Chains A and B, each alone.
Chain A
Amino acid sequence: MRIALVCLLPFLAAAVPPLTIRFGRTVCALGAGMASLVSLLLLLSLAPDVWNGIPVRQSVPWISELGLNFSFFVDGLGLFFAGLILVIGLLIIVYARFYLAAEDPMGRFYAYLLLFQGAMLGIVLSDNILLLAIFWELTSLSSFLLIGFWRHAPDARRGARMALIITGGGGLALIAGLLLLGSIAGTYEISEIIRRGDVIRSSPLYTPTLLLILVGAFAKSAQFPFHFWLPHAMAAPTPVSAYLHSATMVKAGVFLLARLWPALSGTEMWFLIVTGVGLTTMLIGAWIALFKDDLKAILAYSTVSHLGFMTMLLGFGTKFAATVAVFHILNHATFKAALFMSAGIVDHETHTRDIKRLGGLLWLAPISGTVALIATASMAGVPLFNGFLSKELMLEAAYTTTYAGVPGVIAVLAVVAALLSVAYSARFALGVYLGPVRDDYPHRPHDPPFGMWAPVALLSAAVVLIGILPALFAGGLVTLTAQAVVGEEIPPFAPALWHGVTPALIMSLVAFAGGYLAYRFQDQLGRVRQSFVRPDGRALFERALAGSIRAARWINARLHTESLSAYVAVILCAVLVVGFTGFFTTSHGAGERMTLPVNIVGLTVWVCVLGSCAALVLRHSDRLLALIVISVVGLAVCMMFVQFSAPDLAMTQISVEIVTTILLLLALNLLPRHTPVETNGARQARDGVIALGCGFGVAMLAWFGMTRDVPSISTYHLAESKLQGGGTNVVNVILVDFRSFDTFGEIIVLCVAALAIYALLDSALTGAAARRLAGMRQGQESGDAHSFLFVVASRVIFPLALVVGVYIFLRGHNQPGGGFIAGLVVAISLLMQAIASGYRWTARRSRVNAHVFLGSGVLITAATGAASFVFGRPFLTSSFGYFQIPLIGEVELASAAMFDLGVFLTVVGAVILAIAQIARVEARAERMPVPEGPLNESDAIATTALQRGG
């Protein structure tokens, strides 16, 4: 568990800094530091095993079907990188405590930093390439957050976005490559994959695999042509630049090349691409670095160059070169992190990073100046510093390598890169620290607090110690790591300071001499550079980004037409294609079932439906007419239910018909009365074709269905209705018993619909909708009082209607009726009062709270269902019994009746709520005042007068 904990601990600890920041910045930094320290100690506790060659692995299955396991392992390479990440991370945490200004949100900063640290540790410790890919993307995300830490700065936001798109995009290519790699190797575990190099290299999929993985690695490690994102990421706070963009994240690409080195390297393609890209990057980075004025830009391009250096060495494909690459990863991490932190100190102290405004800082800030100069010397490759050693070894490897049949080309170009590196290092040292003290700094510098220079000093000490005694301080670690990279034993790595006069030494001397000249004549070189056409990576990137956004908008505009008709047409056409494909590709004919003879009722209803449909299609622009005609269709459907033995359906249909018509009438009162007549004939023809296709399909389907006999599962329901459900109305028993869980869901849907209607219209009583409502003048009202006859009749009928409702409810279990129908009947009788006497009159007198009905309905059904838990039965198990009650006789009590009561209440609540809410909105529309009731006319007139006055 320890391995997983090493990388999971920073993730968990990421929550700590934002919580502890209230206790002060030091506590916050301590919290973050402790997390890294514990992680480091855990890692070190694994080190002895790794050192002794005992494999340290662990694996927990995650999604094993996909080959994704939560598996980690530590070998030399993992240990080396994880150590680097944690040690430098600790130094950065200390440094950042003093670097960040008081107004910077430090808790957030450390949280991001720890997230990044965990993700980075995940990359180097994963034993599963899919897990590695996940952590890889996490580093892209956390680096996005860190680069954009100063979110108020546009540069930071742009830089963060660019880094995310390039490294994240590279990550996508990487995932594709890793999937291919896994499928070639037959396993996704890295420790296995690196043993199957022969299989992988001989696979026909080797080329795409390699290319995809290289795109991911090169994008991450800022290799040409992706190098341009790194300098823009320098908008990040300096601790971030030092940590992510010099020591760790940008090395993830190099790490991956090293990790997969045994599996992928050794082919011609690997050599040509990796070496070529590395060499190009090394040259371009060093060249550009010479001409930058911003300290962080110089260091950024230098980093690009050094990453190219490492990539090139890994590209060589020899064990020696791989060892040198590992050695340089270590050396570069030490001196470059120190330099970035030094640049941060300069910025912090002088308030500028422009090399043209600096100079002589060594005399004003001797400590931080000295340690920075040590690191600079190492960057230049001066003897006695570690950069010298790896550069010498690199030149030695380059000297013996032939590229594409041209001997010496690598050697010459490597010397040029080394020469440029000397030149920009000299410029950095002389321009910032040496030279005369100036009197025009934006801010007079002096040495920063101990916490800021101590991390730099520690790294510089490492630079010197490795530089002088490489075998002692780095030999063992580099040997161990390099063995893990190449996958076999290698002789102990023990570079010596003095080799005698070798080609590498001569190349080094040439580089120093040339570097001096390049430094002297940098202005002339700058003019040469100006004469080139220099493609601006950022401008190209922004253009590509803008182009893809435009393309996305274009596609979106085509797909998202904001036309309901278009969407519906597309969906229907798809249904037609699928449906008719199925219809015409199989054999079918009319069934054998006896058809019923046509009777006069059926024929009449059929004619009514056809006529109504024709009228609707032709005359639907008159909306009131359409409403009347559609009720005819509703009645026809109701008749059909009566005819074909469905009394429950007929009762439901006719009551729903009534409430729907009331609803539509109310809505039509506020909506326009007429639909504009369409003139687009082509469109009508198109819709007509779709409509006829759909109609034909449904008719055919119905015909072929009805003329066949099928066994129905409802024989069970018919047989068991009385025995198990205790009712003879099978439809009702199915609803409240056999399939009561469906019904439960359905009344919840009804409830949600009613509440949505309430919410939609409640919020319409304010804002633009309310103003439009208030502005509506309706001239068509007669202004008459409500019909006296109707009012009296409705009030007399009201209790009778309620009784009918109750009766229908009670008999529902055995005869046509039940909760749904009774609910509708009661709702209608309530609505009738509103129609007869007006909404306001009814609302004032009504004790019916629709919300209570809705809520209690759903709660009662739920409680009925849950009651069966008490008896240890599943949800909604029903039971019933017959009880003798004196005078009344035998009475059946069924749990299903309680359930039906819930249904009843929900239906009443939903209908009342929906319609009352529309009526309430309607009452807002300013109009000719309608006297409220016939019985208190004088009152009404008085109120109206009052309202008018108000």
Chain B
Amino acid sequence: MEFLLATGLGVLTSAGVYLTLRRHTFPVIIGLTLLSYAVNVFIFVMGRLAIHQPPILDKAISNYSDPLPQALVLTAIVISFGMTALIVVLALRGFLETGSDGVEEPHVDADASIKDEREGVVR
């Protein structure tokens, strides 16, 4: 199982990194989401793997999986939602503002939009 997880993590990371290096917003967002998965799972498995040992206290059970990485990852999952949402909105706003979806294009469109803005003021 450990081998599956390690290789799975490696593949997730590779795909995440590759997509993060793309030139348009949406693949970057997808890539970052994959990286979030990878990081969360990585932190989680650093608590080592355990089957049928949820950290819910019970007098009959004496072995539990490590609750601390789980607690860290739980908030991380929610925070990564916040992060993804923020990046999505940044991408959206950038697209609406400039008409461009790229993450590395020169500022041609931005200049045009500034011009628009000025005209808007005049109107």
A residues neighboring B (CB under 8 Å): 561-566, 568-569, 572, 593, 595-599, 602-603, 605-606, 609-610, 613-614, 616-617, 620-621, 623, 626-627, 630, 633-634, 637, 640-641, 643-649, 652-653, 656, 659-660, 663-664, 667-668, 670-672, 675-676, 678, 687-688, 690-692, 694-703, 705-707, 709-710, 712-714, 717-718, 721-722, 728-731, 734-735, 739, 742-743, 746, 749-750, 753-754, 756-757, 760-761, 764, 767-769, 771-773, 814-816, 820, 824, 907, 910-911, 914-915, 917-918, 921
Judging by beta carbons under 8 Å apart, are A606 and B8 in contact?
yes
Cα–Cα, bound, A734→B70 (Å): 10
Minimum CB distance partner of A680 in chain B: B23
Q: Can you pick out 14 interface pairs between chain A and chain B where the beta carbons lie within 8 Å of each other?
A: A562-B104, A602-B4, A645-B55, A646-B70, A659-B81, A678-B23, A687-B18, A688-B18, A698-B9, A698-B10, A706-B2, A714-B68, A730-B67, A816-B54
Measured between alpha carbons, how far is A735 from B75 in the docked complex, in Å?
Answer: 8
Name 11 extra pairs, CB < 8 A, besides A613-B12, A620-B26, A730-B55. Answer: A616-B30, A617-B18, A647-B54, A670-B92, A671-B25, A691-B18, A698-B10, A699-B7, A729-B55, A731-B67, A772-B99
The reply to whether A754 and B10 form a contact with Cβ atoms under 8 Å apart is no
Number of interface residues of B (CB under 8 A): 91
Q: How far is the CB of A831 from chain B (nearest CB, A)?
A: 13
Q: Select which of A646, A675, A749 is within 8 A of B54 by beta carbon.
A: A646
Chain B residues in 8 Å Cβ range of A757: 85-86, 89
Known: A687-B21, A691-B15. Is A729-B56 also a contact (CB below 8 A)? yes
A739 neighbours in B (Cβ, 8 Å): 71
Q: Nearest-CB distance from B21 to chain A (Å)?
A: 4
A664 touches B88 (CB 8 A): yes
- Minimal beta-carbon separation of B101 from chain A (angstroms): 5
CB proximity of B104 to chain A, nearest CB, Å: 3
Please give, as numbers and ranges, the residues of chain A lying within 8 Å of B74 by CB-CB distance: 648-649, 652, 731, 735, 820
Nearest first, the 6 closest Cβ-Cβ pairs linking A and B are: A699-B10, A695-B14, A563-B104, A769-B96, A753-B82, A691-B18
Nearest residue in B to A699 (C-beta to C-beta)?
B10
Q: How far is the CB of B74 from chain A (nearest CB, A)?
A: 5
Residues of A within 8 A of B20 (CB): 568
Q: A568-B20, A820-B74 are in contact. Are A767 and B34 (CB under 8 A)?
A: no
- Given the interface contacts A695-B10, A699-B7, A753-B83, does A820 sit within 8 Å of B96 by beta carbon? no
Question: Chain B residues with Cβ under 8 A from A690's Cβ?
Answer: 17-18, 21
With beta carbons under 8 angstroms apart, the residue of A617, A649, A729, A914 that contacts B44 is A649
Quote the shortest CB–CB distance from A141 to chain B (angstroms): 34
Q: Identify which of B11, B19, B117 gathers the most chain A CB atoms within 10 Å of its CB.
A: B11
Residues A670 and B82 in contact, CB atoms below 8 Å apart: no
B56, A815: Cβ atoms closer than 8 Å: yes
What is the bound-complex CA distance between A698 and B9, given in angstroms?
A: 7
A626 touches B75 (CB 8 A): no
Contacts of A910 in B (CB 8 A): 82
Q: How far apart are the CA atoms of A80 and B84 in the complex, in Å?
A: 67
Tell whether, in the assembled complex, residue B41 and residue A640 are in contact, meaning their CB atoms are under 8 Å apart. Answer: yes
A630→B34 contact, CB < 8 A? yes
Q: CA separation between A702 and B41, bound complex, in Å?
A: 10
Contact of B8 among A610, A660, A696 (CB under 8 A): A610
Residues of A within 8 A of B93 (CB): 760-761, 764, 769
User: Are A714 and B66 in contact, CB atoms less than 8 angstroms apart?
Assistant: yes
CB neighbours of A731 from chain B (8 A): 55, 67, 70-71, 74
Give the chain A neighbours of B78 by CB distance below 8 A.
Answer: 652, 656, 746, 750, 820, 824, 907
Q: Contact between A637 and B41 (Cβ–Cβ < 8 Å)?
A: yes
- Asked if residues A667 and B88 are in contact (CB atoms below 8 Å), the reply is yes
Cα A756 to Cα B48 in complex, Å, equals 37
Report the separation of the CA atoms of residues A626 and B15 in the bound assembly, to the nearest whole angstrom: 12
CA distance A833 to B34 in the complex (A): 29
Does the CB pair B24–A699 fall under 8 Å?
Answer: no
A617 touches B15 (CB 8 A): yes
Q: Name the A residues within 8 Å of B52 (CB-CB).
A: 645
Interface string of B94-123 (1 = CB under 8 A from A): 011101010110110000010011001000
Find chain B residues with CB under 8 A from A640 CB: 5, 41
Known interface pairs A648-B70, A743-B75. Does A563 touch B103 (Cβ–Cβ under 8 Å)?
yes
Inter-chain CA distance A656–B48, complex, in Å, is 24
Which residues in A have their C-beta under 8 angstroms from that of B57?
718, 721-722, 728-730
A595 touches B104 (CB 8 A): no
Chain A residue contacts of B40, Cβ below 8 A? 637
Q: Which residues of chain B are within 8 angstroms of A707 by Cβ–Cβ distance?
A: 2
Task: Output the least CB separation between B29 and chain A (Å).
Answer: 7
Among B54, B75, B88, B117, contact of A742 (Cβ-Cβ < 8 Å)? B75
Contacts of B45 in A (CB 8 A): 644, 702, 705-706
Evaluate contact between B73 and A561: CB separation under 8 angstroms: no
Taken together as a complex, chains A and B put the C-alpha atoms of A744 and B18 apart, in Å, by 34
Contact A691 B56 (CB under 8 A): no
Task: Choose one: A616, A771, A914; the contact of B19 (CB below 8 Å).
Answer: A616
CA of A634 to CA of B10, assembled, Å: 16
* A718 lies within 8 A of B29 (CB): no
Assess the A633–B37 pair: CB atoms within 8 A: yes
**B37-A634 in contact (CB<8A):** yes
**A71 to B30 CA separation, bound complex (whole angstroms):** 60
By a CB distance below 8 angstroms, the chain B residues around A918 are 88-89, 92
Closest to B67 in A: A730
Question: With contacts A566-B104, A656-B81, A671-B91 known, is A595 near B1, CB below 8 A?
Answer: yes
**Which one of A646, A815, A910 has the highest number of Cβ atoms from chain B below 10 Å of its Cβ?**
A646
Bound CA–CA A656/B79 (angstroms) = 10
The proximity string for B residues 29-48 relative to A, scoring 1 for CB distances below 8 Å and 0 otherwise, is 11001100110111011111
In the complex, A565→B16 CA distance in Å? 13
A621 CA to B24 CA, complexed, in Å: 10
B4 close to A633 (CB less than 8 A): no
Which residue of B3, B82, B90 contacts A754 across the interface (Cβ within 8 Å)? Answer: B82
Contacting residue for B67 out of A603, A722, A734, CB 8 A:
A734
Least Cβ–Cβ distance between A651 and chain B, in angstroms = 9
Cα-based distance from A614 to B34 in the complex (angstroms): 12
Closest to A676 in B: B24
Q: How far is the CB of A819 from chain B (nearest CB, A)?
A: 10
The minimal Cβ–Cβ distance linking B123 to chain A, given in whole angstroms, is 10
In the bound complex, CA of A568 to CA of B19 (Å): 11
Which A residues touch B101, using CB under 8 A? 671-672, 675
User: Contacts of B51 on A, CB cut-off 8 Å?
Assistant: 596, 643-645
Tell me which of A564, A597, A621 contacts B28 (CB under 8 A).
A564
In the complex, A722 Cα to B117 Cα: how many Å?
A: 60
A712–B103 CA distance with the chains assembled, in angstroms: 42
A644 to chain B, nearest CB (A): 5
For A656, the chain B residues whose CB sits under 8 A away are 77-78, 80-81
B49 x A750 contact (CB < 8 A): no
Flag if B37 contacts A734 (CB, 8 Å).
Answer: no
Q: How far is the CA of A362 from the CA of B15 in the complex (A)?
A: 89
A595 vs B45: C-alpha distance when bound (angstroms): 13
Known: A596-B51, A613-B12, A698-B38. A675 touches B27 (CB 8 A): yes
Cα distance A626–B86 in the bound complex, in angstroms: 19
